[in-house]
Amino acid sequence: LAQLFRPLDMLGWVYRNIRQGLIDMEQMFGIIDTRAEVKDRDAAPALHVSAGHVRFENVEFGYDPERPILKGIDLDIRPGSMVAVVGPSGAGKSTLSRLLFRFYEPTGGRITIDGHDITGVTQTSLRAAIGIVPQDSVLFNDTVGYNIGYGREGASQAAIEEAARGAAIHDFIMGLPEGYDSKVGERGLKLSGGEKQRVAIARTLLKDPPILILDEATSALDSRTEAAIQETLRSIEHGRTSIVIAHRLSTVVDADQIVVLDQGRIVERGTHRQLLVKRGLYTEMWLRQQSEREEQAEAAE
Ligand code: ATP
């Protein structure tokens, strides 16, 4: 009988994986709109990630053919390195990650992972290889343990706790009335923005993907919480190819590569130091954020 149910289990797993990917994406980007269905090609093979080398090669894209959003994007993200994508609102930062997740397909050029064009592999295998930490995680109305364990089918309690430790939320959970069995979500305990993000981080740690997309919170976390979350994020990025959509430049200083996107084009790229020397858009954004910080600090005094 167990043999008979195995394919069903498998289907359930595939379904949950896809569903999780979609839920994370929807949360991250706030999109559940009508979109052209992206379909797997006939007999598409699964993606096997060896190193996690992500490349955008002359990528063009527009949601509407009349209005190009990304123009000639070339981006080489070495295995295990971290790229930060910055730029004004509407520049196309989130669109880049939607394409990597194959929510949409480029209208020109291609995106490869370890040399494989992502349009030629199954979506399930692609999405299993990419972890997403959205800026505002919505939790399921279930226990906090379930919300973390969701990252990997059949995860043991020990593995869930280890992931929670990695996300620095284990002690907090142990302090809840029912520990890992405490109900969270709309109908349970209301967690703060920082706590929810830590649950999402723990879930991602459990999934252990070779590639990460992080959407840094724009919403206000107090600066101590933010600094602590940053530290946790940096530790989960370690050894994974990471793409960080950054809203605060102070968090990208250590990126291996920063790309500045403006109206769908990469207008500057380099490390923080290299970009400051250029005295271009990045420098302008950096100086603006510095003075905003100073004003905030003065106002707080
Ligand atoms: P922000 O920093 O404000 O989040 P962003 O750089 O991430 O901005 P994107 O979300 O990638 O920008 O959007 C780029 C452009 O694409 C915007 O002009 C936006 O209006 C448009 N756009 C985004 N999503 C869709 C969609 N689903 N359908 C049509 N146009 C869209």
Which residue is associated with the tokens 């930062």? 93
pLDDT of residue 275: 95
- Label residue 227 by pLDDT band (50, 70, 90): confident
Residue 201 gets which letter from DSSP? H
Strands (E), 207-294: 211-215, 241-245, 257-262, 265-270
Residue 297 structure tokens: 């600090």
Tens digit of pLDDT for each residue in 70-87?
Answer: 999 999 999 999 999 999
Which ipTM value was assigned to this complex? 0.97
Tens digit of pLDDT for each residue in 3-57?
Answer: 555 555 555 555 555 555 555 555 555 444 445 578 899 899 999 999 999 999 9
Strands (E), 161-274: 211-215, 241-245, 257-262, 265-270
Where does ligand 1 bind, in terms of residues with CB under 6 Å? 31, 33, 63, 69, 87, 89-95
Helix (H) or strand (E) holding 227: helix 223-237
Burial class (CB in 10 A: 0-12, 13-18, 19+), 57: middle
Residue minimizing CA distance to atom 14 of ligand 1: 92
Q: What percent of the chain has pLDDT over 70?
A: 85
- Label residue 133 by pLDDT band (50, 70, 90): confident
Distance between CA atoms of residues 281 and 270, nearest Å: 12
* β pairing state of 108-113 and 211-215: unpaired
Ligand 1 atom at minimum distance from 35 CA: 27
* Ligand 1 center to 42 CA (angstroms): 31
Burial class (CB in 10 A: 0-12, 13-18, 19+), 44: middle
Residue 285, sorted as left (phi over 0), alpha (psi -120 to 50) or beta, turns out to be alpha
Mean pLDDT of 274-282: 94
pLDDT of residue 19: 55
pLDDT of residue 246: 86
123, pLDDT greater than 80: yes
Mean pLDDT of 182-206: 88
Instruction: Report the predicted TM-score, pTM, of the whole model to 2 decimal places.
Output: 0.83
Residue 207 structure tokens: 């999934």
Q: How far is CA 209 from the centre of its chain?
A: 11
pLDDT of residue 78: 96
The total of other beta-carbon atoms located within 10 Å of residue 262's CB is 16
154, pLDDT greater than 90: no
